[in-house]
């Protein structure tokens, strides 16, 4: 099993996850509704932290639940955990092994909060520390760079949001996710060719906003850990407040800009970058106006709803990072220094 094969597995994994875990997710939503949950307190690290960024927009925008991302060091080093009264405490970890994430759920239980684990290892320490466990069901992920476990995290969070809202149309849209990912995977050969253009790229910025703020961070982390490029993620709004000064002619900009509520603001920034600053652009979008600005255009399915767009969008980013790694002559199966499971305190 290779990183590339794990990327290609994702439609089947997502389809099975939806089929097999829907009932469990709906039961978890029932338990959450029984509690006087006023906000969500979410702990994660690395790629899982980017799933938390997605949850921030999803649970806030769809379910009206404020979400705070935990600072685990307050629990493990400072021993000064915040008050979590009436919080739903969520831990996300593909391995479920990180002591700092486990410590947040343990403290949540101590304070009488409902705790929920999203993990690919149901028997892990994180799962054992939780009242409710949602199995990511991604199968063994051998590659160091997380791909199918990340999209499974997004899918599971989207399922939970749909269950909490009780929205049948949302479940109908979730049924289409695997097919949308299949469409993106058809770009594999074109992306392999396009990656040749960026063989000597050493730095870039990655832009996203709204639901795809998470995608910008996740695409950037894949570029960093696989290709060793200095890839910095930004909201397009934050990027305008100073960092845009880094851009001059030919500077590479990766942008994730599917149709939705934030598209116009993303398009305005992209037009400025392209037309005024002469940036070199790779664009993931399903709007032709955005794709027309790109040297490398990666089209998304036309009927993709914004709230689910981070799942197919990051698959395009994963393929780009994988093929660029190969082009640069690096080993995508064993990035230097890092390991599959990182246990932090």
- Active site amino acids: 340
| Residue 207 near residue 236, CB atoms below 8 Å | yes
User: From CA 295, how far away is CA 303, in angstroms rounded?
Assistant: 24
Instruction: Determine whether 10 is exposed, middle or buried from the number of CB atoms within 10 Å of its CB (0-12, 13-18, 19+).
Output: buried
User: From CA 291, how far away is CA 283, in angstroms rounded?
Assistant: 6
User: From CA 209, how far away is CA 235, in angstroms rounded?
Assistant: 5
User: From CA 128, how far away is CA 107, in angstroms rounded?
Assistant: 13
**Cα end-to-end span (Å), the chain:** 30
Question: How many CB atoms sit inside 10 A of residue 252's CB?
Answer: 21
Helix (H) or strand (E) holding 107: helix 99-110
Give residue for tokens 């960092």.
243
| Residue 267 near residue 276, CB atoms below 8 Å | no
Strands 203-208 and 230-235: parallel
- CA 272 vs. chain centroid, Å, equals 27
User: From CA 103, how far away is CA 74, in angstroms rounded?
Assistant: 10
Give residue for tokens 């690096």.
330
> Angle 313-318-322 (CA atoms, 0-180°, nearest 5)?
155
Grouping H, G, I as helix, E, B as strand and the rest as coil, residue 330 is: coil
Output phi, psi for 257, to 5 deg. Answer: -140, 65
Using DSSP, how many helices (H) and how many strands (E) does the chain show?
Answer: 15, 10
User: From CA 267, how far away is CA 235, in angstroms rounded?
Assistant: 13
């Amino acid at each position: 099993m290779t990183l590339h094969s794990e990327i290609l597995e994702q439609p089947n994994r997502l389809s099975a996850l939806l089929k097999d875990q829907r009932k469990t997710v709906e039961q978890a939503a029932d338990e959450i509704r029984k509690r006087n949950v006023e906000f969500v307190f979410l702990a994660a690290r690395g790629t899982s932290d980017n799933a938390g960024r997605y949850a921030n927009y999803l649970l806030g925008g769809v379910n009206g639940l404020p979400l705070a991302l935990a600072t685990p060091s307050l629990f493990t080093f400072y021993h000064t955990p915040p008050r979590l009264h009436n919080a739903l405490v969520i831990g996300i970890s593909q391995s479920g092994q990180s002591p700092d994430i486990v410590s947040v759920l343990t403290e949540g239980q101590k304070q009488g909060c409902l705790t929920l684990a999203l993990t690919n290892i149901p028997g892990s320490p994180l799962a054992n520390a939780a009242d409710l466990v949602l199995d990511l069901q991604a199968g063994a992920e051998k590659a160091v760079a997380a791909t199918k476990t990340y999209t499974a995290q997004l899918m599971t969070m989207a399922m939970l949001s749909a269950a909490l809202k009780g929205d049948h149309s949302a479940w109908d849209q979730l049924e289409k996710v695997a097919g949308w990912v299949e469409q993106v995977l058809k770009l594999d050969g074109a992306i392999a060719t396009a990656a040749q253009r960026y063989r000597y790229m050493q730095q870039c910025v990655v832009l996203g906003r709204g639901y795809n703020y998470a995608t910008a961070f996740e695409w950037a982390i894949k570029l960093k850990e696989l290709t060793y490029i200095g890839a910095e993620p930004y909201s397009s709004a934050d990027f305008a407040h100073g960092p845009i000064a880094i851009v001059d002619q030919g500077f590479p900009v990766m942008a994730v800009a599917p149709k939705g509520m934030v598209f116009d603001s993303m398009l305005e920034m992209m037009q400025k970058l392209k037309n005024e600053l002469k940036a070199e652009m790779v664009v993931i979008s399903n709007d032709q106006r955005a794709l027309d600005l790109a040297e490398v255009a990666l089209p998304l399915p036309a009927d993709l709803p914004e709230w689910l767009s981070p799942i197919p969008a990051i698959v395009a980013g994963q393929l780009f990072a994988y093929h660029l790694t190969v082009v640069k002559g690096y080993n995508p199966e064993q990035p230097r220094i890092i390991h599959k499971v990182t246990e932090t305190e």
